[in-house]
Structure 1
Amino acid sequence: MDHWGEIKKLIETRHADRLAEVLKALDDQARKEVAARLPELLKELRARFDRWDDGLVHYGIVLRVAGAATFGGAAAVVSWLYRRDFAPQWDGPDGDVDLILAVIADRPAAWRADLAERLVLRMRVADDRGMPLTLALLRETGIEPPPHDPLVAGWVSQWPTRLGDDPLLDHLVPRLFEAQGVGRMLQWERDPHEGWLGALLKLAGAGRLKREALIDGCVRRFLLGGTAIDLRFFVRLHEALNPSPTEAAPHVRDYLRLLPASPGPVAELAMKHLRGRDDLAIDDLAEAWESLLFRSERKLVRAGLSWLNGSVRRAPALADVIAAPLARAFAADSAELQDKAVELALAHAGGMSEDGRAAVREAIELLPPHLGHQAAAVFGGGDVAEAEPAFVPPALSAAPERARGVASPIASVEELRRMITSGAGSWQAWERLLAGFVTHTGRDRAGVAAALDARLFGDLFWQYRLENWSRPGQWLQRAAQSLGLNAPARRAWQSFMPKAGLAMPHRLLLHRAAEILRAVEEDTLPPLLLATPTHSTGHVAAAELVRRLEVIEAAGAKPLAADFQQALLRLPRTPDPEAAERAARLTSAAGKILAGWTCPEVEIRLEWTCGNGGDDHDWHDRDHHHDVRLVPTATAAPTGLPLVDLMLSVPQSSADAEHREWWPSMLPSHREVAAAHLMPHVLRRYWGDPPVGPEEARELARAEGPAGAAFAAVLARVLGDPQMPASVDVLLEVAARDELPAAEIGHQIGLLVASGEVRMTDMVAPLDSAARRGAHAHVWRIVAAALPALLPAPGGRPRNGLAAFVTLAVTTAWWSGARGEIPEVRAMAARKGNSGLLREIRRLHDQLTSGTGQEG
C-alpha cells in the first residue's frame, strides 16, 4: 500500500489531525519508509519559497508530527523537532504538543524517557519553544528530570494551576533555590495569595511541602549570592513564611554570613531574624554589629547603631563589645551616622575596657575635626584630623565670543545642486541654501533649471495629492521643479499652506519658502535675499541689510515680504547711525520702513497652570502627575507688519514644533520671546516629543535681549536633566556675561521640582559643578530663590535630595559671603528634631545670620 502518497498530500494540505491518525496506524516498515522520504519533501517545500520568506513555517506542525511519529531514534526526533525551518526563534512555543504525544504514545517507555531527557538538555532558555512538549512528556513518563536550569525557569514561567497535583513538584521545588534565572522570572511576584508565592505558601500550610525545606532553600539561595533582582522573590517567600525563632535557629550562622556583603534586602532580613534572638553569643553580636556598621547603606548602618544601643542599654556589660563596631562607623560617609556613632561612643564610654577605648581612640582620625575633638576629649590621645584647606572656587572664565562669522555663500550651481538634494540639517545650512537658490537663479535661471532637473528629485507628483506642505524643503523643491515650467500644478503657494496647527516660527519658515516658489512662478525673484544671517547668532548686520536693499532697488526689483520681515527681526538691538543714515536715502517702501525701524520692546509673562485650572500658588506643594503647563503671554506695541507682530506674540498652546532648534536664530535680538515660543515644549508632554535641550539653551544664551522667566525655565529644565551635562556650560556662559536671571532660575527650579518635572537629586550635581567652576555667587542666588518652594511644611515629608540641596546652599553661601535671613529657613531651623536635613538647615541659618563666611 502506498502510504507515502497520502501522507505527502496531508502534509502539503496541512491536515494535521488526519495526518496524526494515519501515522499512528503505520507499521514499523512503513514508518521507516516515511522517515526516509521526509528530508526530500522538506527540501522540495523549501524550494517553493524565497530564502527570506518564512512560508515554510506554516508547514512546521505537520512536518514535526510526521518526524516524531516516524524517526527511529530519540536523538533523531529531537534534531528534527528543533529544525529552524519549522519555527523561527521569534515564532513562540510550538503548538503541536497533543499531536506529538499522541503519535509517540505507543513507543516503548524507555524510548519516551530517553526523548524526555534529551528534550530537557536541548533547551537553552526558559521560553524555549519546546518547553510545553518537554514538561508534558516529563509528567507522562514520571521520570526524574536531569538537572538543567532552563527547565526549572521554564517550569516557573507557567501559572501554577493545581500545583499540588503536578508530578514535577517534588523533583523541581528543591531546584527553585539553585537554578539560575528563577529569581528573575519570579521577581514581580508579591501577592502572598496568588501566583507562585501564594501557591508555595498554600502547599506549605497544607503540609504538602515542608516549611523547613522552603526556609532552608531560601537561605541556601541567599548564600549562593546574586543581585537584589535575582533574590527578590526568595526574600518575599522567606518573609511570608515568617520563620519562628525555633525555625530560624539552625540558620543563625547563615544569617551572620549574609550581613557583610549580601544585597540590602537580604541583609535587612538576616538582621531582623538575628535581632529578635536573646540567645546570641557575645562574639556573634560583635560580628553582626561590625558587619552592619561597615555597610554602605545608611539604612542598615542606622539600624545597626539602633540595635547596638538597645542591646547595651539592656545589658551594660556589652559596652566593651560595641567599641570595635563603633570605630568602624566612624568611617561612615554620612555626617549623620558619624554624629550618631560618636554620640553612642561617648554615652557608653564608661563601660568600656582599656582595649575597647583604645579601639575607639585609633579610629578618631577618621572623624571630621569637630567630632574628633569631642571624642578625643573623652577617649584621649587620638589623632584628630585637621580640616583640609578650604576649597576656593576659581574666578569665572570669560564667556566665549557671542557671535562669529557664517559660512561663505554657495559658490556654484553644482554646489547648489548637491545641497538641495541632500537637504538642510541646520538653520545655517537652510539659510545658505535659500540664499544660494535665489542668487544663482537670478544670475542664470536656465542653468539652475538644467542642474535641478525635476528628475533629480524623483517622482514628486504624489505630494500634490497631500492636503498641505508642512516642511520648508517641500516648498523649495517645488520652486526648483518650477524653474523648468513643468510643475504639476501652478499657483501651489495659494492652496498648500497649512491653515492651522503650526507654531509661528515654523509658519514664518514656510512663508519664506512659499514666497520663493511664488516668485519663481511669476518670475519676480529679487537678485538676493535680505534675511540671510551675517553672524552665527542669526543676526543680520544693519549696514549689510541696507546694502542688500540698495542692490534690490538698483535692479528695479521688490524684496520678498516674509524675507524682509524676518530681516527686521534679525537686526541687532544696538542702532547703527551710519546704516540708518544710508537707509534714509532709500526710496522703496521697504527702505522707508527700515529707515524708521527701532527694535520693538516686548514684555513676557509666564504662568504655570495645571489641568484643574489652578496656578502655581495652589499646586506646587502637591504630589506629582498633574497636567502642568507653562503658559506665556506677550505684550508689545504693534508694528503693522503682520509676520513681525505674530512672531512677537506667543502661543498659549502647543503646536507643530518641527525645526524647533532653529527658532532662536529667527529672533536673535529677542531672547525672551524666542524662549517663550519654546514653552509648550519645555515640559515633556508626549514620549515622542523630545524636550528642549542644551543646544536650544545655548542659542538663547548667545542671543540678545532681556533674559526673564521663559529663558530661566528653559535653563532650569535642561539643568535638571541628567542626560544634558552640557547645560552647565550654558549657565557658565550666561553668568560670565552677567546676563543670568539667577533668582528667576531658582524660582523655576522650585516649580519644576514641586511639579515632578525634574528631580531635586538631579539638580544638585550641575549646580555644584557650576559653583566649583566660578559661578558660586550666581548659584547661591539660584538656590536661595528655590529653597522657599522646596522646604516642607511642618509635618510634611521632605523631598528626596533636599538635604544635599541645602548642603549646596551652605557651601555656596560660604563661598559667596552671603548674609541675610531667609524666613522659611529660619522657621524650619526652629523645628524640633535632629535629622541630617535639620542639621544642614541650622548650619545654613547660622551661616546667613552669624557666620563669618568666605568672600567669593
Structure 2
Amino acid sequence: MGDGVTGVDEAGVTGVGVGDESGVESGVDKLLAAVRAGVTADVPALLEPLDAAERKAALARLKVLRAEVRAGQWASPPYLANRIRSALYVAGAGCLNGVAETASWLGARDLLMWDTDGPMALAALGERDPEWAADLAGRLAKRQAVAENSYPLLHGLVVRSGYTVAPTDGYVNGWVWHITDDRLLERLREDPQTPALVAHALAMAEAPERFTRTLRPGSLRHWPTALRTLVAEGVLDRAQVLDLCVSRLLRGGPIRNLRFPLEMVRLLEPDTDELGKRIPDWVGIAADAPSLVAGYAQDVLTELASAGTLPAGALAEMTAGVLFRTEKKLVRAQLALVGKVLAREPGAAGELLPAVTEAFGNEDTSVQERALKLVGRHLTAVGPEVRDELAEAAGLLSPMHRQAAEALFGSALEEPAGAPYEEILPPVPERLLVAPPASTVEALMAELVAKGLSEEPVALERALDGLVRLAHRDRATVVEAVREAFPRTGWQETHYFTHHTQGIEVVLAGLLGLLDRARVDLGRTKGNGSDSCFHQALSGVLDARLWEASDLVGTGALPFLLATPTWHTGAIDPLVLVARLREYRDAGAEPAPADLAQALLRVLRDDPSAGRAAEEAAALGTPAGRRLAVWLREEDAVAASVRFLVRGEERSTMQWWLFDRIVVDVADRPAVREEFPPAFHWLGGALEATPRRCYHWVDGRAQWAAVLPADREVLAACLLPTLAYCVEGDSRGATEPLTALAEAEGPVGRAVLLTLAFGLGCADADDRLRAVDALLVLASRGELDARQVGGELAWLVAEGSVKPNRLADAARTAALTGAYGTVWAVLSAMLPDLLTAAKPVRGLGEVLAVAADCVERCGAGGDVAGLAPLAAKRGSTQLVVQAGRLLNALRQGTDRSPTETV
C-alpha cells in the first residue's frame, strides 16, 4: 500500500510507518496516519502546524491514497474505506490552495460521507480571503447533490466571507433541511438571506422534502405558519409570496409539490382585490392542475363570480377548461356556476354557452344531459351564428340524447354520419432485432453511465453481453474503465449483495474481484424450495445467470453469452442459437449451465426455421447441440395450468382472498429437473404447486417476461399470484410484463386471458392501462378470445374481487381508442351472468354505460339476458337508466354488425 503502512488492527487503526531516517515522525506522516486510520476528527489539528511545502507534500500522498481507495484496495474491513474517505475529504480541503481545485475535491462524489465532515472541512480550510471563501461557496452551491450534503460547509463559508450565495436548488434543499427544528421561526428571522432563499424555495419544481411533510399548523416546525408570521412582520413581501405561490400552482406537477404553495395561499387569506389581480392564473390552474388544487381555484373564481368581478370572457375560458376535465364533481359544479351567472346575466349567453358544449363530449351521459338542458334554457338569448355553433357541437352527444337535441335545434342539427363503423386496433407488433452490443470499452461505459445500469430487459442484455465480450478480450482495460466510470457506488460495498436484488452490478463487482467466493457459489447453485413463491422463482432464474456471469466474466470460459435475445421480446432465433453453439465448439469452450438453460427457454420452438435448426444442432456433435435439438422438437417443453380453490365463507379465512385461492400446477418435466441448474428445476414441476401468501418485496418485474418469451402461458400462470395483490390489495406495478406477454410467442390459454382480466381490475390506473394495451395487442394479432375474457371477468366481478368502477374505467379507455366492437365483445359475454345474478352487483351501472356507448358506436345488436327486466324498472338510478340506454341501442342495432343472442 506504500507510505509505511504496517497493517490494520481489529479496530481498523493502522500502524504508523517511520517518517525519516532519524525515526522522528513528521507532521505529514502523522496526518497521513490519521487519514489511513479514518480518524477524521484529528485531521484539522494535525493540519495547523504544516507549512505550504508540507501541505503540498501531504496532498501528493493523499491523492495516492485516494486512488487506492477508489481502486478497492481498502474495501476490507468494509467500514474502514468510508472512514478513510471522510478523512481524505477534510485533509484535502486543508492542503489545497486554488479555488477550482478545492471545489473539485470537496465536490467529488467519492469522498464526502457524513454530515459532520462539512464542519471539519471548514475548520481545515482555516482563515481564507473573503472573496476566496465566497467563490468556493458559489462553486459548490451550483452542484445540487454536493450543496444538499454540504450545507454546513457552504453556510460556514458564507458567514465567514460576509458575502451571499446565489440560491440554487441544492443549497436551498440543504438550508431547509438543516434549519427545520423547533427554532424554525427564529432561524428564519436571523438569516439575512431568508427572503431570497424562501423565494427560490417557493419557485422550485421539486419542492424541498421538508415542505412536503404533513404537519399540524400548530407545530413549531410548520413552514407555512412560520412564513405567514414573517409576512405579517414585513420580513417577507406579501405580494411576492402570493405571486410565487400562485405561479407555482399554475406550473403544475405532482400534488406533493403543490401542497405547500396551496397551503400558503390559504393561510394568507387573500382578499377579493388580491384574487382578482390573478384571474388568468386561477383560470389556468382550474383547467390543468391536480384535482385538489383545481378545486381550490374553482372556489376562488366562483367567489369572484358571485361578487360580480369575474368577466364573462374569463368565466367562458374557465368553463371550457374545467368541462374538459374528467372529475364529475368539478364538472357539475362548473355547470351550476354557469347556470347561476346566466340567470343573473342572460346577456352573457353568447360567450358562455359555446364553452358549455365542451361537456357534450363527456363520458358521463348524465353530464351531457345537464349541459344540454342548460343550453336549452338559454338558447333564445343567442343569435343565429351562436345557435348554429351549438347545433354543430351537439354532434358530440351520445345517441341517447339525439331526440332531445333534435327537438332543441331542429333542422340546424346535422344528420349523423352514414359511414360504416370500422374497428380501430393497434397495428400488429413486428419483431424488432436487438442491436448488437457495444464493440468498444468507451461505448460500453457510456451506455452504462447514461442508462444508470438499466434494468430494462433488452438494455440489460445488450450491456451484459457487451461487458462479457469485451472483458474476455481485455479484462484489465475493462476493469480500469469500470473503476473510472463508477468511482463510488453502493454495489462496490462488500455487504451490498447480501440484501439487494441483483442486476448487472453483481457482474461488475465480480469483474472487480469484490465478491466473496462463498456468496458467488451460493448464487450459482441456489435453487427454489417448496416454500418459494413464483415471483421468487422467476427472479431466481435471473439471479442464477447473473451470479454465473459474475464468476466467469473476464475468463476464457465465457467468450460471450448464449442467451442474449435476438428479438426485442427476449426470444432467440433458433438458427442464431445454433451458430452460437457452433462458435463455442470451435473455440473449445463449454457453455455455462445457467446461460445455456436460459437460452433454451428463449429459443422459438414454433419458428418456421426450428426444424432445420434442430437438424443442424444435432449435427454439431456436442452435448449442448443435442440438448438444443431435443428441445426444439418438444411441443410443450414446459407447461403450467391455473385453477382456483372454492372461496371461503369469511374474510378472515385463508381461503377467502383471491391471492390465497390461486393454484398454479407446473407440469412434470423430468428432463428439466435433470438437465437444468437448480434455479430452473421448478419449471420441471419441483416447485410445490399450492396457494401461498407472498411476503417478499417484488422487484425485477419488467424482466420476468424475458425469462419465458416462448412460453407465455407458463409465464402468465406465474404472474397471476402477484397480479392478484394489485386487484385486491394496494400493490402496483405487477402488470409491467403484460405488454411483453402479449407480444411473446406460444399459445394463448386461460392463464394469459386471466392476466388480462386481473389487469383490467387492478386498483392502480397505470396497471389498468397496461392491461388495456395488452388486450388490444392480442386483439390486433387475432389471439384474443373476448368471450372467455368476459366469462372470467363475470365471476371475478360477481364475487367482488374486481370492482365494477375499475373495470368500467379500463373498458372505457380501451373503447376510446376506437376498439368499441372488441370491448363490447368482452362485456357482452360478461353481463348476462351479472344481470341475472341472485345478488345485485353494486356499481354495475358504470359498466352498462360503457357497454351502451360501445353498442351505439359500433352498431351491434342482439339480446342480453336479464337486461330487459332491469330496464323496465322504475327509477332514475344510473343502473336503470344505462340499462334502458343499452337495451335501446341494441334494438336499434344496424346490419353493420350481425345479431347475436347472448
Matching residue within 307, 311, 315 for 1:288: 315
Q: CA deviation at 1:217?
A: 2.3
Alignment match, 1:88 = 110
Matching residue within 270, 273, 280 for 2:300: 273
2:876 is aligned with 1:832? yes
Matches within 5 A, 1:271-670: 271-277=298-304, 284-295=311-322, 296-299=324-327, 300-330=330-360, 335-352=365-382, 357=387, 360-361=390-391, 363-364=393-394, 367=397, 371=401, 374-375=404-405, 377-378=407-408, 382-391=412-421, 606-609=645-648, 612=651, 628-630=660-662, 653-654=691-692
Q: CA deviation at 1:679?
A: 8.1
Q: CA deviation at 1:392?
A: 6.8
8 Å contact from structure 2 (residues 861, 898) kept in 1: yes
8 Å contact from structure 1 (residues 368, 387) kept in 2: no
Q: Quick one: which amino acid aligns to residue 201 of structure 1?
A: T
Q: Secondary structure at the match of 2:860?
A: helix
Alignment match, 1:21 = 45
Q: CA deviation at 1:125?
A: 3.7
Q: Distance in 1 between matches of 2:881 and 2:197?
A: 51
Q: Distance in 1 between matches of 2:312 and 2:372?
A: 20
Q: Quick one: which amino acid aligns to residue 876 of structure 2?
A: K
Matches within 5 A, 1:129-208: 129-139=149-159, 143-158=163-178, 160-161=180-181, 162-166=183-187, 167-168=190-191, 170-176=194-200, 179-183=203-207, 185=209, 188-193=212-217, 198-205=222-229, 207-208=232-233
8 Å contact from structure 1 (residues 654, 681) kept in 2: no
After superposing the two structures, state which structure 1 stretch, 690-699 or 63-72, moved more.
Answer: 690-699
Q: Distance in 2 between matches of 1:366 and 1:4?
A: 89
Alignment match, 1:102 = 123
Q: Distance in 2 between matches of 1:740 and 1:52?
A: 60
Q: Quick one: which amino acid aligns to residue 32 of structure 1?
A: A
8 Å contact from structure 1 (residues 190, 236) kept in 2: no
2:138 is aligned with 1:117? yes
Q: CA deviation at 1:694?
A: 9.8
How big is each residue's C-alpha offset from its partner over 1:208-235, in whole Å with a ceiling of 9 and x where there is no partner? 5555543232023345566666544323
How big is each residue's C-alpha offset from its partner over 1:745-767, in whole Å with a ceiling of 9 and x where there is no partner? 24334258635699413456679
Alignment match, 1:593 = none
Q: Structure 1 residues 4 and 180, CA, compared in 2 at 3 Å: closer, same or farther?
A: farther
8 Å contact from structure 1 (residues 611, 627) kept in 2: no
Alignment match, 1:505 = none
Matching residue within 68, 72, 81 for 2:93: 68
Q: Distance in 1 between matches of 2:293 and 2:770?
A: 32
8 Å contact from structure 1 (residues 319, 351) kept in 2: yes
How big is each residue's C-alpha offset from its partner over 1:588-609, in whole Å with a ceiling of 9 and x where there is no partner? xxxxxxxxxxxxxx99885234
Alignment match, 2:795 = 748
How big is each residue's C-alpha offset from its partner over 1:354-410, in whole Å with a ceiling of 9 and x where there is no partner? 66546535645555666566456445653424244452779xxxxxxxxxxxxxxxx
Matched-pair identity in %:
20
TM-score, normalised on structure 1?
Answer: 0.57
After superposing the two structures, state which structure 1 stretch, 344-353 or 779-788, moved more.
Answer: 779-788
Q: Quick one: which amino acid aligns to residue 6 of structure 1?
A: G
How big is each residue's C-alpha offset from its partner over 1:79-107, in whole Å with a ceiling of 9 and x where there is no partner? 3323x3xx518x65553223233344544
Matches within 5 A, 1:635-784: 653-654=691-692, 683=724, 716-717=757-758, 723=770, 744-751=791-798, 754-755=801-802, 759-760=806-807, 761-762=809-810, 780-784=828-832
Q: Secondary structure at the match of 1:12?
A: helix
Q: Quick one: which amino acid aligns to residue 780 of structure 1?
A: S
Q: Structure 1 residues 748 and 306, CA, compared in 2 at 3 Å: closer, same or farther?
A: same
Q: Quick one: which amino acid aligns to residue 204 of structure 1?
A: R
Q: Structure 1 residues 10 and 696, CA, compared in 2 at 3 Å: closer, same or farther?
A: closer
Q: CA deviation at 1:315?
A: 4.4
After superposing the two structures, state which structure 1 stretch, 304-313 or 11-20, moved more.
Answer: 11-20
TM-score, normalised on structure 2?
Answer: 0.55
How many residue pairs align between the two structures? 627
Q: Secondary structure at the match of 2:412?
A: coil
Q: Distance in 1 between matches of 2:316 and 2:245?
A: 23
Q: Quick one: which amino acid aligns to residue 785 of structure 1?
A: D
Q: CA deviation at 1:325?
A: 2.5
Q: Distance in 2 between matches of 1:746 and 1:214?
A: 52
Q: CA deviation at 1:164?
A: 1.8
Alignment match, 1:40 = 60
Q: CA deviation at 1:727?
A: 5.5
8 Å contact from structure 1 (residues 716, 745) kept in 2: yes
Q: Structure 1 residues 145 and 812, CA, compared in 2 at 3 Å: closer, same or farther?
A: closer
Q: CA deviation at 1:348?
A: 1.8
Q: Quick one: which amino acid aligns to residue 199 of structure 1?
A: W
2:843 is aligned with 1:818? no
Q: Distance in 2 between matches of 1:701 and 1:155?
A: 57
Q: Distance in 2 between matches of 1:9 and 1:229?
A: 50
Q: CA deviation at 1:718?
A: 6.6
8 Å contact from structure 2 (residues 368, 397) kept in 1: yes
Q: CA deviation at 1:32?
A: 1.6
Q: Distance in 1 between matches of 2:146 and 2:848?
A: 45
Q: Secondary structure at the match of 1:277?
A: helix
Q: Secondary structure at the match of 1:10?
A: helix
Please identify the structure whose Cα radius of gyration is greater.
Answer: 1
Q: CA deviation at 1:41?
A: 1.4
8 Å contact from structure 2 (residues 820, 857) kept in 1: no
Alignment match, 1:252 = 279
Question: Pairwise CA RMSD of aligned residues?
Answer: 6.0
8 Å contact from structure 2 (residues 169, 201) kept in 1: no
8 Å contact from structure 1 (residues 777, 816) kept in 2: no
Alignment match, 1:238 = 265
Q: Quick one: which amino acid aligns to residue 750 of structure 1?
A: V
Q: CA deviation at 1:831?
A: 3.7
8 Å contact from structure 1 (residues 784, 809) kept in 2: no
Q: CA deviation at 1:12?
A: 1.9
Q: Distance in 2 between matches of 1:46 and 1:773?
A: 67
Alignment match, 1:11 = 32
After superposing the two structures, state which structure 1 stretch, 713-722 or 146-155, moved more.
Answer: 713-722
Q: Distance in 1 between matches of 2:245 and 2:838?
A: 43
Q: CA deviation at 1:135?
A: 3.0
Matches within 5 A, 1:45-56: 45-46=65-66, 48=68, 51-53=71-73
